[in-house]
Amino acid sequence: MRVTIATLLILGALAVPSWADAPFPVIGKTAPDFTLTSQQGQPVRLRQFRGRLVLLNFIYTNCVDVCPITTASLQRVQQELIARRKWGSDVVFVSVTTDPARDTPALLRRYAQRYRADPKGWYFLTGTPANVRKVHAAYGIAVRPRGKGLQEHHLPTFVIDRAGTVLGAYGANPNPRDVLSDLEHLQ
């Protein structure tokens, strides 16, 4: 089934939890640029991926529910993109932490390894709490502590086209077949 841009916009609105104030402000606009630190300890700027399709999401390594499920779904997409020889050169994933105080590059690297995330095309990013909060604010990501190192947060997976425009967002746990179909359509 093909998912149109209008459907992505609707999915983006549905990815907002009931406690959030508004849908994501970035949909239909140029993706706000940022520079954070990768799981390899290197600076990564979102703008460096212009010319490629980007799936951008927000996770934290201490998560026990939706983040691991979403990461596993995206890992299945990654495997198929590798098989199609599109990984890294045509499509990249960027996962920004929602817990920068805890998620160091080393911890993000272990998390990435646990999910067999290929560093040639999947960047797990962290930074100072202030810098990461700026990214959250720019993308409309609300984070609410739940105690014991857990949190509630938005879990969209934004689709950014080659020109840097945010086309829409999937909700938590995107269906790998739908994502692959959409990426193929955008190629």
Range of the domain at 174: 5-186
**Quick one: tokens of 67?**
């983040």
- Whether residue 19 has pLDDT greater than 80: no
SS3 label, residue 166:
strand
Question: What CATH number corresponds to the domain at position 70?
Answer: 3.40.30.10
Domain count, the chain: 1
pLDDT in tens, 63-104: 888 888 999 999 999 999 999 999 888 999 999 999 999 999
Per-residue pLDDT tens over the stretch 100-135: 999 999 999 999 999 999 999 999 999 999 999 999
**CA–CA separation, 134 vs 34, rounded Å?**
9
